[in-house]
Amino acid sequence: MLMGVNDVRHTEIHTAEPLVPQPSGFEVKMAIEMLKGHQSPGIDQIPAELIRAGGRTICSVVHKLINSLWDKQELPEE
């Protein structure tokens, strides 16, 4: 028996990755507040104290950067 075009059933596509929403501005703010101070900076040479001192401005910029990377679904090489 041949199947016609109308007989094809639509199937749902399931992925192994759960859908996770973008990080919120509040989550970014909390992560920045939780940075440990008085430690050697990472490869970027930016001390945690400087990031925390940036206040709302740095939170906003970091949040935009994270969401941009999130939308692209790839990490920069550097």
Q: Where are the domains of the chain?
A: 21-72
DSSP class of 39 = S
Does pTM top 0.75 for this prediction?
Answer: no
Amino acid (1-letter code) at residue 67: N
User: How many other CB atoms are there within 10 angstroms of residue 67's CB atom?
Assistant: 15
pLDDT in tens, the chain (78 residues): 555 555 555 566 666 666 788 999 999 999 999 999 888 888 889 999 999 999 999 999 999 999 999 888 887 776
